[in-house]
Structure 1
Amino acid sequence: MTDTTRIPKTSGSGRIGIVHLGLGAFHRAHQAVYLERYRQRTGDTRWGVSSANLRASVGLVDALREAGYRYHVAEYADSQTLTLREIGVIEETLFSGRDAEGQWGRDRETLLARLAAPGTRLVTLTVTEKGYFLNPASGELLADDPMIAADIATPTQPRTAPGILVEALARRREAGLPPFTVLSCDNMPDNGKRTRNAVIQLAERRDAALSEWIEREVAFPCSMVDRIVPAMTEADFARLNELGVEDPNAVVGEAFAQWVVEDDFPQGRPDWAADGVEMVADVAPFETMKLRMLNGSHSLLAYLGAPEGIETVFEAVSRDDLRALLRRYMLEEAAPTLAMPEGTDLAAYADSLLARFANDSLRHRLHQIAMDGSQKLPQRWLQGSLARCEAGQAVPCTALGLAAWIRYTAGRDRQGAAYPVDDPLASRFAELHGRHGQDPEALVTAFLAMDDVVPPALAADAAFAEAVLTAYRSLTEQGLDGALAALACSSA
């Protein structure tokens, strides 16, 4: 069954009230959909979006311009049930990254002017964990990173999301304008607080008075976002073509979507609760639940499955042993670390996640999920594992997952074929594998010693370190089947 929702473009350009940093598939399939629902329900055009790409590709920016900023979102409940939406809430696309010739910031000044405009009241971000330039373990700004160092040296020509926010806020302060609210929509614990830390730490290196003004005046509410949005495939485009939609900018996602937002917007916000946005006083419990149960499960599948030739989440959860592993991980290792509001049924949540993972219409590639593990694993696995280990409780599923991540970072599958390791620390991983690849104990010890990824107290836990080493040996010597069988025997 296909439900097609065609939305007429608002006549003229609606006023831009939101600037978004991170023009990617998730933003277009999640926040933009909620905003489109709001616009169509209310007729309020004050919250149109200017969306900027800060990464290396200018193609999507120009393609959306050529399409009049229209694109389609295909929402699959399963392979037979599809809702097709046409989205028109994006009013402008900009490019502030580095182009193919190595030049920076084609539209940077336009972006900064848009951020400094009186009508801009909200800035949202989906720049991935690494886009905040924070140490994933400590939360400290990576001041020595070349991108951040460039923003410190030339703050009026920023390259990073924190740098763009600092320069835009400096311009607003200089003009006597109130600051915009900054809403992170990335999968990080306390994402608003971490965004605030990145911006304030960078501002401190520029101007103490500016930093103090940001700390005092700017709101950084936290949020939790949830929707599975895999990369588009040729099969996805082919199905849309069969429906009469030829849209190179289309995105695909599951039917399920959730957005939980801390209600702290001094300059106003859309009245979007009726459109499904959950406005709450404290996002943290929902955010941690999603990170540890959904995202943690995804990471388990990615690092265990991809080197074995398992391509997608659907393919992975179709295996009884991997499905059982996820349920055990969620209920025995993740759920006990959560402090949820009364009445939350975590077993039912686990069941709902397994059902979503089994959506046969989505080809969510494991290699896509595996990207940037060094930035994701602290909040998905390691912080919860530390709490359990400190309480004297074992985390065998997580130990297996960490062992699988170490194996994954070698960049070769079980048959010896190479694949790219997409991670900010990829060169360090390669060096460690080159030095210790023939000595499992030394290799595991070296990875556990990466204190910008693994909390030192967790690495120092002898039982945890031994569990990771045992799992690594099992994976490398017996493969996935043997490692899962060993884990099952250990719990019997």
Structure 2
Amino acid sequence: MTPTSILSTHAPATVGIVHLGLGAFHRAHQAVYLERNLARHDGGSWGIASANLRSNRQLVELMRERNQRYHVAEYTDSETLTLREVTAIRETLYAGPGGEDLDALLARMSEPDVRIVTLTVTEKGYHLDPADGRLLLEAEPIRHDIAAPTQPQTAPGMLVEALARRFTADTPAFTVLCCDNMPDNGKRTRRAVIELARQRDEELAAWITEHVAFPCSMVDRIVPAMSEADFERLRAQGIDDPAAVTCETFSQWVIEDDFPQGRPDWEHDGVQMVADVAPFESMKLRMLNGSHSLLAYLGVLAGIETVADAIGREEFVDLLRRYMRDEAAPTLNMPEGTDLDAYADSLLARFANDSLHHRLQQIAMDGSQKLPQRWLDGARKQLADDADIRCAALGVAAWIRYTAGRDLAGARHPVDDPMAETFAALHAEYERPESLIAAFLALDAIFPRALAEDARFSDAVLDAYRTLNDRGVATALADLDAPIR
């Protein structure tokens, strides 16, 4: 393989954006768009200060040791590689447990030159009720931020404290740009921030309501967790970079154009600036993310390790085609000219990229936070039209079986989820499938009551669970070809 190398040669940029969540996705997605922007302008005022809030102090230290330089390895397939050097991140901070940089982060967020704060902290980082989107005021980290607002632990708490400082100093508010996979992510972030601010000061909450923009966005790029094999592969190309990330070549970013204090001219760097991101968001959540979750839970139960390994099996390709065509696409209301069949084909091609080694166990994390927007919202629409929900029901059944912590052959796997203890208790208490499924569907933090109480849905989940448990994944997939009862 002869890689294409793109070196960073632009002048150092000043910080105009603070990012919360210094993970692989941020470094392979938002930072790459900013790198392109800074290269076009030979620097400028849109450099990034990125912070980790909960964990991974080591990454912050690695970035500092490398003077904030790292590489992004973009694979089209196993034979086509672009190595991109990124220097758009100008500062890294650690504000997690025991972190010494919280005050520095809040000070940076309070600077007038910072006009945008972006976030990738995962769905659980906002502490929102999945059922109704309200801020979970009873959650321990939120309770801490209410009691000690100047020393926040959560992303909403840090946003509120930084905005409070700007409010007191009469500094214009920054724009908050959520980049996490949540429906109406800007609106949900806005609600979390305003509800938390209201616990502190009604006047502050009113100021945020009037002056802070929370545009919605949709992000898309497959960025697997790095493995030692990935680092070894890069070393073979002459890149010894412990902060490197690997991803696919494809990348998409759709943003609602609402930035009162200004923004980079992203539209020249491949970003789609739109009036309404909702259709694109729903398309990605239901078709891409919904398909990924189907592969994750069914694949792990079948002992499959990666997305590409699963897509290498015809029965999984058939499953995804059926799901996207019959259950996801019919629920979408897309702008004229959108070709959902072509989008589905492109997703299958991306999933088949065997150079990424995208582990199903990584996708399976935090299922309780992901199921509502990936499957359940679409299933409700399908049921309202008396249409097929069997793929979504099979996915829910596979997820419930997955939360037992072992695959169908008995091999154990971790269940990384905020509700993992609840799931373990349910599996310990209920042995009969009927009781277990009923107990899971009664979790109103995940399942809307109207859906859980719809016999068409609950019966489909129970039937799929029994088939999976008794006869395996292959039979459960084959049963999808049977006529709808």
Indicate conservation of the 8 Å contact 1:17/1:122, yes or no.
Answer: yes
2:221 and 2:250 in contact (8 A); partners too? yes
Query: How far, CA to CA, are the matches of 2:229 and 2:71 in structure 1?
Result: 15
Question: Quick check: 1:383–1:455 contact (8 Å CA) kept in 2?
Answer: no
| Maintained 8 Å contact 1:219/1:266 | yes
The 4+ residue runs of structure 1 with deviation greater than 3 A are none
> 1:228-239 residue pairs with structure 2 within 5 A?
228-239=222-233
User: 1:435-459, CA deviations, whole angstroms, 9 ceiling, x for partnerless residues?
Assistant: 01x2100000011111110111110
1:89-488 correspondence to structure 2 within 5 Å: 89-98=88-97, 103=98, 105-436=99-430, 438-488=431-481
Partner of 1:4: 5
Shift of 1:346: 0.5
Do the aligned partners of 1:189 and 1:288 also contact (CA within 8 Å) in 2?
yes
Counterparts of 1:417 and 1:299, CA distance in 2: 20
Q: Distance in 2 between matches of 1:130 and 1:181?
A: 21
Query: Would the aligned equivalents of 1:394 and 1:464 in 2 still touch at CA under 8 Å?
Result: no
Contact preservation (8 Å) 2:10, 2:42: no
- CA offset digits 1:300-331 (Å, max 9, x no partner): 00010112210000000111011000010001
The answer to whether the 8 A contact 2:9-2:39 is kept is no
Give the CA deviation at 1:272. Answer: 1.5
Q: Deviations over 1:203-228 (max 9, x none)?
A: 11111111111011100000000000
**Superposition deviation, residue 18 in structure 1:** 0.2
In structure 1, distance between residues paired with 2:129 and 2:60: 30
Unaligned 5+ residue runs, structure 2? none
1:110 aligned counterpart, secondary structure: helix
Partner SS for 2:272? strand
Is this contact kept in 2: 1:321–1:484, CA < 8 A? Answer: yes
Question: Which amino acid counterpart does residue 180 of structure 2 have in structure 1?
Answer: D
Task: Name the aligned partner's letter for residue 3 of structure 1.
Answer: T
Matched ranges for 1:51-66 at <5 A: 51-66=50-65
Q: State the 1:45 CA deviation.
A: 1.9
Deviation at 1:8, TM superposition (A): 2.7
Aligned pair count? 484
Deviation at 1:9, TM superposition (A): 5.8
Distance 1:272 1:48 in 2: 13
Q: CA deviation at 1:381?
A: 0.5
Matches within 5 A, 1:20-99: 20-98=19-97
Distance (whole Å) between structure 2 residues aligned to residue 9 and residue 42 of structure 1: 8
Contact 1:221 1:261 in 2 (8 A): yes
CA distance in 2, matches of 1:416, 1:397: 24
Q: Displacement, 1:390?
A: 2.0
Say which SS state the counterpart of residue 473 (structure 1) adopts: helix
Identity of aligned residues (%): 64
Q: Hey, what's the Cα distance between the residues in 1 that align with 2:252 and 2:55?
A: 29
Tell me how far 1:489 sits from its aligned partner. 2.3
C-alpha deviation, 1:468, in angstroms: 0.2
Q: Deviations over 1:95-122 (max 9, x none)?
A: 1101xxxx3x410000000000111000
Contact 2:256 2:274 in 1 (8 A): yes
Secondary structure at 1:205 match in 2: helix
> 1:160-191 deviations in whole A, cap 9, x for unaligned?
00000000000000000010000000011110
> Aligned partners of 1:10 and 1:63: how far apart in 2?
22
Aligned 8 A contact 2:10 2:43 in 1 = no
What amino acid maps onto 1:134 in structure 2?
A: L
CA contact (8 A) 1:151 1:159 kept: yes
How many angstroms apart in 2 are the aligned matches of 1:181 and 1:126? 15
Q: Is the 8 A contact 2:53 2:94 kept in 1?
A: yes
User: Does the Cα contact within 8 Å between 1:292 and 1:334 map onto a contact in 2?
Assistant: yes
Deviation at 1:491, TM superposition (A): 5.6
User: 1:279: how far off?
Assistant: 0.4
User: After superposition, what is the alpha-carbon deviation per residue over 1:27-86, rounded to whole angstroms, capped at 9, x for unaligned?
Assistant: 000000000000001224200000000012200011100000000000000000000000
Q: Secondary structure at the match of 1:363?
A: coil
Shift of 1:394: 2.6
Distance 1:164 1:335 in 2: 38
TM-score when scaled to structure 2?
A: 0.98
